[in-house]
C-alpha cells in the first residue's frame, strides 16, 4: 500500500501560494488536507477532534505535514489519541501559542505538550519566524523527540517567505517518509 500525506494547516488554512497547497495540487492522489470548521478562530477542542476524525478515515499509512498552529494541533492530538496509520510528522514553523503575543486569541492550545510524539518527526524552523523564536522551536523538537532542522532566515516558512513549492521541504519530507515524490505518486526509496 502506498503512503499518504495529510496536511494540517495553521491559522487561516494555507492559501494558494503556500507550499502545502502547491504540494496538494502537484500530488492530488496522495495529499489531502484537514478541514476545520473555522480556520480564523482556532479552538483546540474543535481542531484536535477534527484531526482525529480525518485520521480515523485514512485508508492507510500516512505522514502528517503540519504548519504553524497545525503543529500544535498534531502535538495535542498525540496527547489524546493514537493511530497506527500515522507513521511520521513533518512539523514546520510551530507557532508558539504560549509566548507569541500575535496568538493571544487562540483557545486551548496551552500549555504546549511536552511529551514525546509516538512516531518519527522532524521540526523545521526559521531564525526569523515572527511566531516562534528559534530556541523555542528547538525546545519543541527536543520535547517531542523530533529531529530539528534550522533552515535559516525564512520567516514563518509560508507563502510570504516566497518558497513556492519549497524543494528543500520536499527533500526533508522524502527523508522522513522514506519515499520519493514523483509526479502524482510517492514511491518507496530502495
The residues, ordered by sequence, that sit 6+ positions from 24 with a Cβ below 8 Å of its Cβ are: 7, 31, 32, 33
19: exposed, middle or buried (Cβ count in 10 Å: 0-12, 13-18, 19+):
buried
Q: What is the DSSP letter of 31?
A: E
- Which of residues 101 and 119 earns the better pLDDT score? 119
Whose CA is closest to 44, among 97, 101, 119? Answer: 97
Q: How many Cβ atoms are within 10 Å of 98's Cβ, its own excluded?
A: 13
What the chain holds in terms of domains, given with CATH numbers, is 4-188 (3.40.50.1820)
pLDDT in tens, 54-102: 999 999 999 999 999 999 999 999 999 999 999 999 999 999 999 988 8
pLDDT in tens, 127-186: 999 999 999 999 999 999 999 999 999 999 999 999 999 999 999 999 999 988 875 555
Amino acid at each position: 500500500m502506498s503512503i499518504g500525506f495529510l496536511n494540517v494547516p495553521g491559522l487561516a488554512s494555507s492559501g494558494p501560494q503556500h507550499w502545502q497547497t502547491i504540494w496538494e495540487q502537484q500530488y492530488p492522489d496522495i495529499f489531502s488536507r484537514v478541514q476545520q470548521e473555522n480556520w480564523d478562530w482556532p479552538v483546540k477542542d474543535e481542531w484536535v477532534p477534527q484531526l482525529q476524525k480525518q485520521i480515523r478515515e485514512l485508508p492507510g499509512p500516512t505522514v502528517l505535514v503540519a504548519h504553524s498552529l497545525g503543529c500544535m494541533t498534531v502535538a495535542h492530538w498525540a496527547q489524546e489519541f493514537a493511530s497506527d496509520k500515522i507513521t511520521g510528522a513533518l512539523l514546520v514553523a510551530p507557532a508558539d501559542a504560549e509566548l507569541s503575543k500575535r496568538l493571544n486569541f487562540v483557545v486551548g492550545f496551552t500549555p504546549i505538550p511536552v511529551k514525546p510524539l509516538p512516531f518519527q518527526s522532524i521540526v523545521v524552523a526559521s531564525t526569523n519566524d515572527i511566531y516562534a523564536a528559534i530556541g523555542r522551536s528547538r525546545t519543541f523538537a527536543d520535547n517531542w523527540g523530533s529531529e530539528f532542522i534550522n533552515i535559516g532566515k525564512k520567516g514563518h516558512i509560508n507563502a510570504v517567505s516566497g518558497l513556492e513549492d519549497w524543494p528543500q521541504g520536499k527533500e526533508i519530507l522524502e527523508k522522513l517518509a522514506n519515499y520519493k515524490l514523483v509526479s502524482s505518486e510517492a514511491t518507496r526509496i530502495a
